[in-house]
């Protein structure tokens, strides 16, 4: 019976880890159909599709390549981008949107329906001043079918609090950065991008009741990317942001629907900490290079080492140390267990 309970707990942990990693790939937006110059991909004379792909965690620019992606259209054809860019959303605190350029289908008769990560695309740590959590993980194997069609218009996919050097607001008491799943420009006639702040609404939480606040200004504008910074004068913590409908439009001039997003923060325990059932074990060093040592073993323990997607890397009996050669740097999860004890630790390989 105990073995069945332990097996069930491990299964839950693996599924949770996979779900957390899968959620990192938020959406893709079929931004422009045969509307971008082929010169951007060294293909003169051609017109290319543009597709922003959006992530919850920031990406490591040095790991980014067009071969990291596959796009599947509605007829089942698979396309590899001609080139990919983090620009224009490549400032510190952004790096969550990759622009894919290539041929990905047609907007009405054969639109793209799925984006796959098929190469070793890595996330990176957040900068000082970002409220959102991040983990260094390999996104290889992730898939999204959340491909937003042109006609649906852009929507918010990310928000976080920005402080310190990342904050571009010249006034107010707190700054919230928001990101759209497609590039946006003002939709209401006569407005400029600097006028958009009056259509955003931020909400603070008072005993479960959302209190609306309108920002006093907007920053990080007119740089042709999908990020804005909202400058709020309230001292109440903003936990959610919304934008009224028909206020901004994508590059194809499709207006936005009503959109809202919660502000990301690092207040939740990690999955490994949530599933830590016995505190008697100790693992060191952490971070490690190629070997992990264990203390507090009571006998007959075995170990399972999994990567950030829940895939088993190594397993076997415990002897006080685990040698982990020839594995990529990043986050791993080490589970120790016997018939009565189980603990899972989040460990970092250099």
Is residue 69 within 8 A of residue 100, CB to CB? The reply is yes
Domain span including residue 211: 153-268
Domain count, the chain: 3
- φ, ψ for residue 62 (rounded to 5)? -70, -15
CA neighbours within 13 Å on the CB side: how many for 226? Answer: 28
Q: Are residues 141 and 201 in the same domain?
A: no
Name the burial class of residue 117, with classes exposed (0-12), middle (13-18) and buried (19+) by CB atoms within 10 angstroms of its CB.
Answer: buried
Q: Are residues 173 and 163 in the same domain?
A: yes
Q: Are residues 216 and 230 in the same domain?
A: yes
Looking at residue 309, its pLDDT comes to: 60
- The C-alpha atoms of residue 115 and residue 164 are separated, in whole angstroms, by 35
Q: Are residues 48 and 102 in the same domain?
A: yes
Instruction: Estimate to the nearest angstrom the gap between the alpha carbon of 34 and the chain centroid.
Output: 27
Q: Which residues of the chain have pLDDT under 70?
A: 1-22, 267-279, 308-310, 341
181-to-28, 132, 295, 333 alpha-carbon distances in Å? 7, 17, 47, 31
Q: What residues form DSSP beta bridges with 180?
A: 156
Q: What is the DSSP letter of 270?
A: P
Q: Are residues 248 and 306 in the same domain?
A: no
Give the number of other Cβ atoms within 10 Å of residue 17's Cβ.
Answer: 24
Q: Are residues 236 and 98 in the same domain?
A: no
CATH label of the domain that carries residue 296: 2.60.40.3080
Closest CA to 111 of 145, 135, 141: 145
Looking at residue 308, its pLDDT comes to: 64
Q: Which two tokens stand for residue 249?
A: 């439009």
Looking at residue 281, its pLDDT comes to: 81
- The C-alpha atoms of residue 121 and residue 146 are separated, in whole angstroms, by 19
Which positions ≥6 away from 108 have C-beta within 8 Å? none
Looking at residue 40, its pLDDT comes to: 94
Domain boundary among 234, 268, 302: 268
Q: Are residues 169 and 137 in the same domain?
A: no
Q: Are residues 6 and 143 in the same domain?
A: yes
CATH label of the domain that carries residue 238: 2.60.40.1220
Closest CA to 342 of 55, 103, 12, 15: 12
For 247, the 3-state DSSP assignment is coil
Domain boundary among 212, 234, 268: 268
Q: Are residues 202 and 333 in the same domain?
A: no
Domain boundary among 268, 291, 311: 268
Q: What is the DSSP letter of 299?
A: S
Q: Are residues 206 and 273 in the same domain?
A: no
- What confidence tens digit (pLDDT) does each residue in 296-345 have? 888 788 888 887 666 788 888 888 888 887 777 777 888 888 777 677 88
Q: Are residues 105 and 184 in the same domain?
A: no
Q: Are residues 195 and 282 in the same domain?
A: no
Closest CA to 53 of 170, 151, 147, 177: 147
Looking at residue 92, its pLDDT comes to: 95
């Amino acid at each position: 019976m105990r073995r069945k309970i332990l097996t069930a707990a491990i299964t839950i942990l693996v599924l949770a880890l996979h779900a957390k990693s899968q959620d990192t790939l938020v959406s893709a937006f079929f931004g422009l159909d045969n509307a971008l110059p082929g010169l951007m991909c060294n293909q003169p004379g051609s017109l290319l599709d543009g597709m922003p792909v959006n992530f919850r965690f920031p990406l490591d620019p040095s790991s980014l390549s067009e071969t990291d992606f596959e796009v599947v259209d509605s007829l089942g054809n698979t396309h590899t981008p001609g080139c990919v860019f983090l620009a224009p959303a490549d400032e510190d605190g952004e790096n969550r949107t990759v622009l894919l350029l290539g041929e990905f289908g047609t907007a009405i008769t054969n639109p793209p329906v799925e984006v796959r990560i098929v190469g070793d695309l890595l996330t990176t740590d957040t900068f000082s001043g970002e409220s959102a959590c991040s983990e260094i993980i390999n996104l290889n194997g992730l898939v999204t079918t959340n491909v937003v069609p042109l006609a649906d218009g852009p929507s918010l996919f990310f928000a976080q609090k920005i402080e310190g050097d990342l904050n571009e607001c010249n006034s107010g008491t707190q700054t919230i950065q928001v990101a759209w799943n497609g590039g946006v420009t003002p939709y209401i006639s006569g407005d400029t991008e600097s006028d958009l702040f009056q259509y955003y609404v931020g909400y603070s939480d008072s005993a479960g009741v959302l209190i609306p606040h309108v920002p006093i200004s907007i920053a990080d504008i007119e740089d042709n990317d999908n990020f804005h910074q909202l400058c709020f004068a309230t001292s109440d913590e903003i936990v959610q942001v919304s934008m009224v409908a028909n206020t901004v439009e994508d590059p194809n001039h499709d207006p936005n629907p009503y959109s809202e997003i919660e502000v990301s923060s690092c207040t939740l325990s990690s999955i490994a900490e949530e599933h830590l059932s016995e505190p008697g074990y100790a693992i060191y060093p952490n971070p490690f290079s190629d070997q992990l040592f264990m203390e507090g073993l009571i006998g007959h323990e075995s170990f399972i080492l999994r990567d950030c997607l829940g895939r088993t890397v190594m397993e076997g009996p415990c002897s006080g140390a685990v040698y982990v050669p020839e594995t990529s740097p990043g986050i791993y999860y080490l589970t120790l267990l016997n018939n009565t004890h189980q603990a899972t630790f989040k460990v970092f390989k250099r």
